[in-house]
Chains A and B, each alone.
Chain A
Amino acid sequence: MTQLVDIILSLSLLSIIFSFGSSRLQGLIKALAFQGIVVSIVPFFMGHELSGGDIIFSLTTLLIRGIGIPLYLYSAIEKIAVHRELEPIIGYHGSILIGLLMVVAAMFVSRKINVPSASDSLLLLPTAMVLLSGGMFLMMARRKAITMVLGYMTMENGIYLVGTTFSVRAHHIVEFGVLLDVLAGVMIMAVILQNMKQGAEDPDMALNKISKE
């Protein structure tokens, strides 16, 4: 079972590296959806006792993170006809290298940290750390508002992974984490959608390339 978890997690690590090197927003959203599905199903393989409520909750999370939000974002980029991130602050090759360094650093650091009630999975903690730092990296290294939202969601996936798998008593925290995603995520996206409407009227509207002062 632990091996299976590690295989799934290794794929999600690869998806992060992929998202670092992708200029196409569709590709980024697919990577995000994949990560959302992975972090939602990992708790099933952890060997913790799951009540009926927990299972329903995990499945709801799967629907929201893995399918709902990515689909919503997908339709958003279709509407504004933005398909590529053309002027990243840090180039794609550089980003991939940084991603690889993140994975190596996370593997190294995670061996030194003693996590209570952790399973035997070798990749759980490193994946959570890479998702967290990777999300932050995407927010800093890209200019477009929509890519920043994707980075934010990636970071949220990392927090969800920490909450569901490491902590025995953090179930509430995780539940509310989903609430954060749904509320804050939708709020942010609503603001963007508003912008898109305005952007259609005013082609010079610069929010898609948000200023960072």
Chain B
Amino acid sequence: MVEILFLVPFLTGVLSFFLPSKPGRSMLVLTGAIHFVLTLVLWIIRPGALMPAYFMVTPEGLLSLSVISLLFLLISIYTTAYIESAHIRNEKVFIGSMLLFLSTMTMVTLSDHIMVMWIAIESTTLASAPLIYTSGSPKSLETTWKYVFICSVGIAMALLGSVLISLAVDAGGENVPMSFSALSAQAPRLDSMWLKAGFIFILVGYGTKMGLAPMHTWLPDAHSEAPSPVSALLSGVLLNCAYLGIFKTHKIMVSAGLADFSGTLLMAFGIVSILAAATFILKQGEYKRLLAYSSIENMGIIAFGTGLGGIGVYGAILCLIHHSLIKSSLFLTSGNILLGYGNRLIVQTGNLAGQMPKTFVAFFAGFVGISGFPPFGIFMGELLIIVGAFRTGHTIWAGIFIASLCIIVAGFVNQVMRISFDDAPKTVNFKEKARLIWPQFTLLATSVVLSFWIPDVVYLEIVNAVVSVGGGF
């Protein structure tokens, strides 16, 4: 009965469209809490699915689900305080869409059928579009249009990819259900040409949604224009959902003995994304766009690590988890900065350390974490990916990877220093409420704790996920 995990937010989401503001906000947090408890229960007892042909709890799915659940709970608490200070045009629609968004993302993590996965990812676009169009300005309309249109085209590519994979089954003369688990099990008997074609389209399709360059153009705009809690959700969990689609298809390719093909493509898209981020991050004048380009970089790192295989996959999964935790905390903090300074431009900010000390601590710690410094987990993830690249003889790739990371950190440091310590153009009167601060601290603390101690049961699931795509030590 794992379906309950996406049915609960679906029902409360629909209900929220009709609730007044205050009960709506309570419903948001309550649903987040119920979802979190249900996810914890899933770790202890593994109930089967009502529709086992379509849904299944997989290691990678469970890991993503847990990240989504924790993030959503904390973001929902932050949102209740954020809404009080920021202008949200239609609060009912906003809260309802957030819950529907949670429902669709949960569905992505639990889906085992190639088409259910596709529908769920498509639904995430539809549920999140109203979240971006909240200010009602022409700019936010254009951004929403760009987001829906580019992602829809991408998702259409993924649909074609799914059709081509079904052709691989037909061409192989097999009668295999279209579930990821069955396809992976029977992969050696599927037609390799159609599998390759299908993978390319799925990579381009879901890669668009994941923010891989050169299909990333919607991402900086959407992350910058959306309210900060939504940016945190988009960056922290939506990108992971799209990655899950690619990961599961890559699993089929690995089982079919085509890991070289899909791995090389993943590495190429990964490196291009990191390079694109390194190019654009240097001249960013807006702090939210800066974070958005950092998301593109991290998605590139994750794709690169997954493509490498071996120890790189373990590094990629670590980066996936820690990027979600740290980046969502950074986006929430950027919400405080926006509320304080009332402007997205970096030049309009300054002296964050003096004016908003708690926000500064969260912001600076987040920056340290996202740049890949210890004690945060991305450090270990990136290190393992670099080791993996050298071990597998990809020295040139590793060189480009390291050089790009250095450029990105340099660009980042420059802007973070300006925001934190330069003279401020004006004095900020912003009350740093507890609900606007401690969700970020909790996220950062979780990342630090997970860097030093991973519970055995979680570690086992990570290893299972890693092994399923040909990774390992």
The reply to whether B163 and A191 form a contact with Cβ atoms under 8 Å apart is no
Q: Is A62 an interface residue (CB 8 A)?
A: no
Q: Is A195 an interface residue (CB 8 A)?
A: yes
Interface positions of A from 133 to 182, Cβ below 8 Å from B:
136, 139, 145, 148-149, 152, 155-156, 159, 162-163, 166-170, 172-173, 176-177, 179-180
If A167-B166, A173-B163, A192-B145 touch, whether A207 touches B138 (CB-CB below 8 Å) is yes
Q: Is A55 an interface residue (CB 8 A)?
A: no
The answer for the CA separation of A149 and B149 in the assembled complex, in Å, is 8
B: contact size bracket: 20 to 34
Q: Is A211 an interface residue (CB 8 A)?
A: yes
Residue numbers in A under 8 Å from B217 (CB-CB):
213
If A169-B170, A183-B122, A184-B122 touch, whether A162 touches B138 (CB-CB below 8 Å) is no
The reply to whether A207 and B141 form a contact with Cβ atoms under 8 Å apart is yes
**A interface residues, tally (CB under 8 Å):** 43
The reply to whether A176 and B129 form a contact with Cβ atoms under 8 Å apart is no
Residue numbers in B under 8 Å from A207 (CB-CB):
138, 141-142, 145
CB-based nearest A residue for B169: A169
The answer for the CA separation of A190 and B133 in the assembled complex, in Å, is 12
The answer for the CA separation of A167 and B191 in the assembled complex, in Å, is 13
Q: Is A132 an interface residue (CB 8 A)?
A: yes
If A152-B152, A169-B169, A172-B115 touch, whether A194 touches B141 (CB-CB below 8 Å) is yes
The answer for the CA separation of A119 and B415 in the assembled complex, in Å, is 60
The answer for the CA separation of A155 and B125 in the assembled complex, in Å, is 19
Interface positions of B from 124 to 149, Cβ below 8 Å from A:
125-126, 129, 133, 138, 141-142, 144-146, 148-149
Residue numbers in B under 8 Å from A169 (CB-CB):
166, 169-170, 178
Prevailing SS type, chain B contact patch: helix
Q: Is A115 an interface residue (CB 8 A)?
A: yes
Residue numbers in A under 8 Å from B171 (CB-CB):
114, 116
Residue numbers in A under 8 Å from B118 (CB-CB):
176
CB-based nearest B residue for A132: B160
The reply to whether A152 and B156 form a contact with Cβ atoms under 8 Å apart is yes
Q: Is B167 an interface residue (CB 8 A)?
A: yes
Residue numbers in A under 8 Å from B122 (CB-CB):
180, 183-184
The reply to whether B148 and A187 form a contact with Cβ atoms under 8 Å apart is yes
Rounded to whole Å, the gap between the CB of B311 and the closest CB of chain A is 36
If A183-B122, A194-B141 touch, whether A167 touches B167 (CB-CB below 8 Å) is yes
Residue numbers in A under 8 Å from B160 (CB-CB):
132, 159, 162
The answer for the CA separation of A114 and B178 in the assembled complex, in Å, is 21
Rounded to whole Å, the gap between the CB of B296 and the closest CB of chain A is 15
The reply to whether B144 and A191 form a contact with Cβ atoms under 8 Å apart is yes
CB-based nearest A residue for B142: A207
If A156-B156, A159-B160, A188-B149 touch, whether A167 touches B125 (CB-CB below 8 Å) is no
The reply to whether B115 and A173 form a contact with Cβ atoms under 8 Å apart is yes
The reply to whether A180 and B156 form a contact with Cβ atoms under 8 Å apart is yes
CB-based nearest A residue for B217: A213
Residue numbers in B under 8 Å from A198 (CB-CB):
138, 141
The answer for the CA separation of A202 and B115 in the assembled complex, in Å, is 42
Rounded to whole Å, the gap between the CB of B401 and the closest CB of chain A is 27
Q: Is B159 an interface residue (CB 8 A)?
A: yes
CB-based nearest A residue for B163: A163
Residue numbers in A under 8 Å from B333 (CB-CB):
none
Q: Is A105 an interface residue (CB 8 A)?
A: no
The answer for the CA separation of A168 and B167 in the assembled complex, in Å, is 8
Q: Is B153 an interface residue (CB 8 A)?
A: yes
Q: Is B119 an interface residue (CB 8 A)?
A: yes
The reply to whether B167 and A115 form a contact with Cβ atoms under 8 Å apart is yes
If A166-B167, A167-B167, A176-B119 touch, whether A184 touches B142 (CB-CB below 8 Å) is no
The answer for the CA separation of A197 and B152 in the assembled complex, in Å, is 23
In-complex Cβ contact of B145 among A152, A170, A191 (8 A): A191
The answer for the CA separation of A148 and B115 in the assembled complex, in Å, is 26
27 A-B pairs with C-beta separation under 8 A: A132-B160, A139-B153, A148-B149, A149-B149, A152-B153, A159-B156, A163-B159, A166-B163, A169-B166, A169-B169, A170-B166, A173-B166, A176-B118, A176-B119, A177-B159, A180-B122, A183-B126, A184-B148, A184-B155, A187-B152, A188-B148, A191-B133, A191-B144, A192-B145, A198-B141, A206-B142, A207-B138
Q: State the B residues within 8 Å of A (CB).
A: 115, 118-119, 122-123, 125-126, 129, 133, 138, 141-142, 144-146, 148-149, 152-153, 155-156, 159-160, 162-163, 166-167, 169-171, 178, 191, 217
A sample of 5 more A-B contacts (CB under 8 A), given A180-B155, A191-B133, is A116-B191, A169-B166, A187-B152, A207-B145, A210-B145
3 A-B pairs with least C-beta separation: A116-B171, A116-B170, A184-B152
